[in-house]
A and B are shown apart, each in its own frame.
Chain A
Amino acid sequence: MLALGSVLGGCRKLPFSGDAAKKGPPSLKMFEAEVRRAMSMNLRRMDLVPVQMPGRLKRPGASDENRFGMAIDLEACDGCGKCILACIHENNIPLVTEDDAAKGRFMHWIEMRGGVPFMCAHCGNAPCERACPTGAANHTPDGLSAMMYKRCTGSRYCGANCPEHARKFNFNDAVRQGLSLKFNDKVPVRDKGVMEKCSLCLHRLQDDRLEVKAAGGVWRGRGVNTACAEACPKGAIIFGNWLDPDSPLVKAARRRDLYAPEDLAGLDPSVVYMMGGK
């Protein structure tokens, strides 16, 4: 009786809670097809305005040594979309259901806006973080707008407060619905009801930081690159440290004209676009 009771009482997962229509894992082809589909829909465009080169973060506790960011070379980029697929593989980004896809609600952290990749700009003065009621959306001292997925309760205030709608919400339970593949063991798969967005490959920075600090060095994030920048065949996406004069980012952006989407330009974005100059 007691044994039966413990079996029943200890049964935390109900036997009926599994998804009845569980399909097999998705194929790689499905991810590629979804990227093509998302690029063909091309819903939004950007109005770019000139900005200054990002400097030290204007917030208490900010690092004097590191502020990570990216610059996207509009003259080199031909909008091939390889960055989107690389990002999916790096960050375990799930597919979406047919209904969502028809509405253009993809989970891709990078999307093409007017033929140019757009991702979270990691604004120094991020409006999304101020709206978060649980502190899940937070800023690191080195300039990343980070998400703590386990703290996110899915209020979606952050998504509503981002002027460029860079954040993506997990409406689906991607694992159970067979929409997700764990490509990369270093990145956790997000649950249903959790907001996500470009993390600037936070895990790569964390791993490098720990390795460098374990060896007793000063960490400037040298040698780290994001998945999208690595994948770009034209070298149009350049990742680096805005506060490090030897960073490839600063070297590339120094003599160029920098731009940011109009509604982010006043929010001190870390990810900018560059054109002209040279």
Chain B
Amino acid sequence: MRSIRDWPERDAEMEPVLKICDLAISLPPGADRGFAVQNIDFDLSAGEILCVVGESGSGKSMTANALMGLLPDQVEVARGTAHFEGRDMLALPDHERRKLRGDRIGMIFQEPMTALNPLMRIGDQIAEVFEAHNRHTPSERRDKALALIKEVGLPDPEKIIRAYPFQLSGGQRQRAMIAMALALDPAILIADEPTTALDVTTQAQILELIKTIQHRHGMSVMFITHDFGVVAEIADRVIVMRYGEIVEQGPVAEVLKTPQHAYTKALLEAIPSDHVPSPEPVSGPAVLEVRNLRKTFVTSGGLFRPKRSVTAIDDVSFSIARGEVLGIVGESGSGKSTVGRAIVRLVEADSGEILLDGQNMTALSADELRRARRRVQMIFQDPYASLNPRKTILHALCEGPIVQGVSRDKAHARARELLEIVELDAGAADRYPHEFSGGQRQRIGIARALAMDPDLIIADEAVSALDVSIQAQVLNLLRDLQKRLHLSLMFITHDMRVAAQLCDRVAVMQRGKLVEIGPVAEVFLNPKAEYTRNLLAAVPGTDWNRGAA
């Protein structure tokens, strides 16, 4: 329903800055495959942004690390060439390679929280780039660092230059990283998932910044991502990778609109579309009613430490009808997860009422609560942490029902039944969590919630840790189960697209406050709150509509 963006036509005859031929990277013996990547051929043209897309394990980051000479131990370039400025980079001796890094090629990474030295001031870390390549005097370096800090749009440069990384937010740290990568005006910038760890509004700002500086400095950018939204937002050209090989490459408009390879099609298919469904409003008695919920976290001050308090939930009220799916969307720190945890009383709210079928959950004693637990269950985010590694799947599915008084035999029979409902083999029951993939574990988590036969299920970022194709499968399963079993679902997510696909109504949260709530089509197509509008605008690739592909 949004207009199709006009894709700029790139000059096809442009001279490549970097030419990679027949690259293969070998993995150490014992890995799940012999090569991290192989048969890699591509060019990077001057002034273009090339996106390398793929799911985890596709080898997209390895390719970048190989170019930089930053491969982990035991992982080696087995063959291939990479021509850059008249030389084969892969054949250069280490010290020549080192001279290229940071000078002719800059790189930024995924985790801004850990990519900076925690014990060094930001200014020093930027100035270090000049020092590494013997440029300028120390005082000139400081001036240059200051100029860079200004260029990447960090506030209060004089202060930032003296700040330590822990004093900066994630987005600010990523800007500092970009400043370092820019310092010597490199010909190529390699960005390895630079916005994945960031909130959507911050992501939009960083993407904007990368586009701006790319344009201003005329750099070529190799941008690695798993997110087609980001691709649509930033790329000129796209390379799609799977299992260490390139399956498709081409101009962004072509790849997105008319994908050739089945894998690309499947990936694009898996992305929740921008098409916002307008489901029939679900009416009926409220299964959950939340009234004036408040929660403030106070870090205990010591004798010489001031108390610090963060308001996580600020006077939030809403209700969920039986059989309805309510989405709660917001960025990190919005308090959306805390709301979920307060409803199941994993977090004790300061005040307010949580009525489940009219019963006030907040008023229950510890004993009553243990019995009432059954009625609200959760599906968690991290498939690797949500199952006890030392217990079998059967144990995970039966422990709750048995504690609630279901007989052992009945619980076991039901567990096997549930495994089939979530499309797993019934034989899975006797195995341990480590034998399953992330997507399978998430299915087990769903089965565990269902085993308790709850009135309400709260899914807290339940698909966020999954690759996009797996994410689609789990979402389909959830949607299917919700319809079939007439489940009431509270779906907490940071991903607007996912929320649009599954929910009947959505609530938008910001800094502990509920800023907007309404039917999904209304909130997404006709947002009332300014924050909602900003959030929607920040979603990468909003201009891009897959259409009927």
Note whether A and B form a binding pair. Answer: no
